[in-house]
Structure 1
Amino acid sequence: MSDDMDKRIETDETAVGAAPLRAAGVIAFVKLLTPARLPIFGCAGFIAFLFLANLWNFAVERDWPKLRIRSAWPLYGVAKPKPASWTLDAFLSGETQKAVSENLGRMSPVFPISVRAKNQLVYSLFGGSAAPGVVIGRNGQLYEQFYIDEFCARDGAVDSSRLSAWSSTLRDIQNLAQARGKSFVYLISPSKAARYPEDLPKSASCVARAASTPEKLTPHRAALDTAGVRYVDGPALIATEKRRQPIPLFPRGGTHWNSVGGALAMRDATRALPASPIGVLDFTSASAPEAVGTDRDLLDLLNLLWPDAHYPTAAIGRAGEKGDCPRPPRLLALGGSFLHEALAAATLAPCPPQIDYWFYMRTEDNNIELGHYRRAPGDASNGERLRATSDELDENLARADFILLEENESSIATTKQVGHLLEALRRLP
């Protein structure tokens, strides 16, 4: 027998001996796939998916963020984690490791649903809020802790020198605006805690004396009247209308007034002007089937699995026909988030304006973030975000027909928009 024949026989014998081994391996693998072991493989596969998804998100986050694997229901109000610092000092102090850990956790596709599940558990079992700064009052009313703290701290004390300087500044703004052919109205927006104190949470420090808390705005109104400033008193308007309106002017799940509250304020603003460039606003209102937008901003911040947005709120509409307007007037609005609903109502005026909205928002580190949004005539949405520079403000101001300046009663006479507007008016030629 030749050597080649010997090798072929040896190979055939090896193949014959390997067949049972392969069969045994298949049988063993099939046994592993029994129904009892499937959950183990499922968990292992899920963990592997999360690991690979996190690596992928971490790799594309900086240069190709649109390629990230995202949750279909992202969280509201969660600040983007800060990038990791890769210095030696940061590494030795543990700052780098902490930042990397937070970033990887936030990038996980299951992070949002995990947070919502935990928040729902806290809400359903204990009636509490797991959202920082959001508290639950009576009858399910949601409040921001900031407004409760400010309301409970009211003691009637007044800094007369600051009050005088503030009202004088507003008078100067009004005079400069009128000298340049522009209409001007100052708006005081209301605080939910101050105007609906009957539903404050039991944990509020002033819940027992809420009805007797000093009226903060009395000296401010007197200062405005003495200075001859044209203004709309939103808190007084709410106090009067809350007894007349069939639907609360602050929605259960929101921190801002609803569309009717904002429209009432805008209507008074147009009435206050000798000749309103947008015409005198009139509107209709009806109950809405579900809360949307700012009517559920605090409810959204709770980040629940099953948020209930079916509570009383309203929608507004135009009353009457559009006016005969040679061109869309230009409205420049400066203030905080309470302006949103008032400006949405302005789009229903006889002459809907182009709106440049300069939005002053307090950040987590107590600084002021300034945004600039433009709405086309009749556009009730947020509009288009544009640059927020001094040059852009000056250009808006030069072309404006109507200036609306807003401060919330919680921070009245302390905001930056008052000084910014005066400086911009003084820069105009």
Structure 2
Amino acid sequence: MKKILFFIIIVAFLAVLSLPLLQMKFDFVKEQQLVGVFSSTEQPMWTKDNWFAGNFQATSTSWFEDNFGFRSYLVKTDNQINWTVFNEISSKTNTRLIRGLDNYLYEYAYIDEYSRRPEKKITDLEWEVQMLKRFQDELKKRGIEFLFVISPSKAALYPEYIPASYIFGDRQSLSRSYDIVVDYLDTYGVQYIDGHTIVRNIKDQTDYEVFTKGGTHWNYYAACKVNEQIIGKLEILFGKKMNHVVCDPPIVDTDAYGMDEDLIGLTNIWTDEDVVGSVPHPPLDIQEPNNTFIPNMLFVGDSFSHPLLQVMDNRVYRYRELLYYFKRRITFDNGVYSETTDDILNWERNIGDKDIVILENNESYMHDIGFGFVEYALTILESGMYDDT
């Protein structure tokens, strides 16, 4: 009887060990979707050269680690154990994630900037604003308006949930780059919308959240409220009425979607119930006055542009272009999106036929406003090479 039991145990043990290999071969259970940074390796082919060079073993091991059966289930289980038992985030991402108080999630880079690290030179920040002013003036000469939009940082809006060990108390008396830049914007007369102040007022004066617990970007309600101010400013600049997107009253529930759950998605855990919180959703109806002006817009910005543009798409305009980090060109044309990395800045197409250029930049990244776009555009504008087109 003992031999039979021992035999059964051995067979069961071997069967369990063989399951990942069987899953790799037959894929009889659908793998879970993982989010984050992954190495992409093809299954290596054995050759005499790579065998004797010692490469075959290393590439085979790397490929197996990324492709063994039930990998996604084991990864999520391991991450869930670390999250629940050890209060840690162990998912592999290209950005460091911090689990804050009351399960608010942050990207470390934003916390670091909120702690005034590294400190930026005031002269460099003033130069960034001077470039914006020159750009605004050059566009104005050609009948094109300009608007600079500052998007808010979660760390700056919700510092109360950042663990104390990540805050450098001795640096809190220093001015942030954001504060310095805003002062210079006023001094030099740059047209701008301060999303930080708008969103902070919502947080301080209402019960609505402006960032979700599990997201790194402003939520759609906050983006909608900033859009209200943008449209109001554009109506003044153009002297014309435009479409308005309705933000209030929002529908409040706990259903986060899209960019409202981008950080919790990166944790790759089984359940996100710990980060469930209040989420306001704007109605996004359109108020169309008579003789509505539909401008032709160029946006330049970072990932915070996406919630803002999703609020505006097909409501404020029918066509727009986004130069995303000045590396990719993303167009929206009557509901159709397209993307390319070719010919990022074509003067006649990207700027010359536009009514306005809107540059969005997060308050945590004021040392490189526009990601090289402003400098590049100024070389074209100030040279006058396209002034006769």
Instruction: Report if TM-score (shorter chain) is over 0.5.
Output: yes
| Separation of aligned partners in 2, 1:145 and 1:418 | 27
Contact 1:71 1:112 in 2 (8 A): no
Q: Normalising to structure 1: TM-score of the pair?
A: 0.74
**Residues 384/45 of structure 1: CA separation in 2 closer, same or farther (3 Å cut):** same
Contact 2:152 2:362 in 1 (8 A): yes
Cα deviation 1:265-309 (Å, max 9, x = unaligned): 222122223226744554222214411111111000000012226
Higher RCO, 1 vs 2 (CA within 8 Å, ≥6 residues apart) = 2
Structure 2 residue matching 1:356: 3-state secondary structure? strand
**Residues 388/325 of structure 1: CA separation in 2 closer, same or farther (3 Å cut):** farther
Q: 2:307: which partner in 1?
A: 341
Contact 2:241 2:291 in 1 (8 A): no
Give the deviation of 1:354 after TM superposition. 1.6
Q: Matches of residues 264-413 of structure 1 in structure 2 within 5 Å?
A: 264-273=225-234, 274-275=237-238, 278-284=242-248, 285-308=250-273, 310-323=276-289, 328-347=294-313, 349=315, 351-360=316-325, 370-377=327-334, 379=335, 383-390=337-344, 394-413=348-367
Q: 1:39: which partner in 2?
A: 12
State whether structure 2 residue 108 is matched by structure 1 residue 138: no
**Residues 192/48 of structure 1: CA separation in 2 closer, same or farther (3 Å cut):** closer
- After superposing the two structures, state which structure 1 stretch, 318-327 or 74-83, moved more: 318-327
Structure 2 residue matching 1:257: 3-state secondary structure? coil
- Number of positions where the alignment pairs a residue of Structure 1 with one of Structure 2: 370
Q: 1:11: which partner in 2?
A: none
- After superposing the two structures, state which structure 1 stretch, 401-410 or 101-110, moved more: 101-110
Aligned counterpart for 1:417 among listed residues 345, 363, 373:
373
Q: Matches of residues 170-249 of structure 1 in structure 2 within 5 Å?
A: 170-206=132-168, 212=173, 214-249=175-210
| Separation of aligned partners in 2, 1:283 and 1:82 | 46
**Residues 42/88 of structure 1: CA separation in 2 closer, same or farther (3 Å cut):** closer
Give the deviation of 1:139 after TM superposition. 0.8
Q: Normalising to structure 2: TM-score of the pair?
A: 0.81
Cα deviation 1:225-259 (Å, max 9, x = unaligned): 12211001122222222112322211100111111
**Residues 141/88 of structure 1: CA separation in 2 closer, same or farther (3 Å cut):** farther
**Residues 173/279 of structure 1: CA separation in 2 closer, same or farther (3 Å cut):** farther
| Separation of aligned partners in 1, 2:380 and 2:84 | 50
Give the deviation of 1:94 after TM superposition. 6.4
| Separation of aligned partners in 2, 1:110 and 1:357 | 39
Structure 1 residue matching 2:276: 3-state secondary structure? coil
Q: 1:79: which partner in 2?
A: 38
Contact 1:331 1:353 in 2 (8 A): no
**Residues 98/191 of structure 1: CA separation in 2 closer, same or farther (3 Å cut):** farther
| Separation of aligned partners in 2, 1:40 and 1:423 | 69
Contact 2:243 2:287 in 1 (8 A): no
Cα deviation 1:59-89 (Å, max 9, x = unaligned): xxxxxxxxxx995432111234367999999
| Separation of aligned partners in 1, 2:108 and 2:346 | 34
Q: 1:15: which partner in 2?
A: none
**Residues 424/134 of structure 1: CA separation in 2 closer, same or farther (3 Å cut):** farther
Cα deviation 1:80-112 (Å, max 9, x = unaligned): 436799999998896764444223322335222
**Residues 318/293 of structure 1: CA separation in 2 closer, same or farther (3 Å cut):** closer
| Separation of aligned partners in 1, 2:322 and 2:187 | 29
Give the deviation of 1:316 after TM superposition. 1.4
- After superposing the two structures, state which structure 1 stretch, 337-346 or 89-98, moved more: 89-98
Structure 2 residue matching 1:385: 3-state secondary structure? strand
Give the deviation of 1:50 after TM superposition. 3.9
Larger Rg: 1
Root-mean-square deviation (Å): 3.6
Q: 1:19: which partner in 2?
A: none
| Separation of aligned partners in 1, 2:173 and 2:143 | 44
**Residues 374/84 of structure 1: CA separation in 2 closer, same or farther (3 Å cut):** same
Q: Once the two structures are aligned, what percentage of the paired residues are identical?
A: 22
Structure 1 residues not aligned, in runs of 5+: 1-30, 55-68, 361-368
Q: 1:121: which partner in 2?
A: 81
Aligned counterpart for 1:149 among listed residues 112, 120, 128:
112
